[in-house]
Amino acid sequence: MTDRETQLAGLRASVGGIDPVLDQAANYGRGVRAVQKVVHEQGQVMSAALSNNHLLYHTNKKLVAENRELKAAMESLQRRFDIVSERNTQLEKTLANGGGDYFLALYTECRKTLDSFLSDAMTSEQLRKKLDEMEAQKKELQSLPELVTEAELIEMEVIEPPRQ
């Protein structure tokens, strides 16, 4: 018992009974202290929850960044694997065809590259049509007032002056 409770008990005994007002005041004080204790504990729980949420948020951010990096690395490795597999297949074909014609392999590779960058062959009609379009475009460009002259190109050092 605390000193206050001891004093209250002494006061009650001297009065000759339990005063209901004093008893209610004592119970009210205990109730307020109990509520304060509960509120304090809830505050500690909420503080710990906020701290944990902060850590979880930043951990999640870190894991998402690592996941992106790992996915990018995996895609890069997959592309490299595909390139190496294709090269391996080409070398196996070279070996199967008697192996070792290095220039044939280079020719095939160059041909494949050229085919992927060059457009299909044009017929003579398509070529004439394309030439007519280019001539029309040339006339249109020459009629522009902003057209750059050869002298201006030489002055801007875009082209070299003709040798005499």
Residue pLDDT, tens place only, 99-148: 666 677 788 888 888 877 765 666 778 878 888 998 998 888 888 877 77
Q: Tell me the two tokens of residue 60.
A: 């999640």
Residue 79: its pLDDT value, please?
Answer: 95
Highest mean pLDDT among 20-34, 45-59, 69-83, 131-145: 69-83
**Residue 78, Ramachandran bin (φ over 0: left; ψ between -120 and 50: alpha; else beta):** alpha
Q: Tell me the two tokens of residue 129.
A: 């049509």
Q: In angstroms, how far is CA 19 from the centroid of its own chain?
A: 73
- For the cut 80, the answer to whether the pLDDT of residue 12 exceeds it is no
Residue 69: its pLDDT value, please?
Answer: 93
Residue 82: its pLDDT value, please?
Answer: 95
Highest mean pLDDT among 5-9, 18-22, 58-62, 116-120: 58-62
CB within 8 A of 137, min separation 6: which ones?
Answer: none
Residue 100: its pLDDT value, please?
Answer: 65
Q: CA neighbours within 13 Å on the CB side: how many for 116?
A: 5
Distance CA 38, CA 25 (A): 20
Q: In angstroms, how far is CA 44 from the centroid of its own chain?
A: 37
User: How many beta carbons lie within 10 A of that of residue 108, not counting itself?
Assistant: 14
How far from 55 is each of 46, 60, 69, 137, CA to CA, in Å? Answer: 14, 8, 21, 65
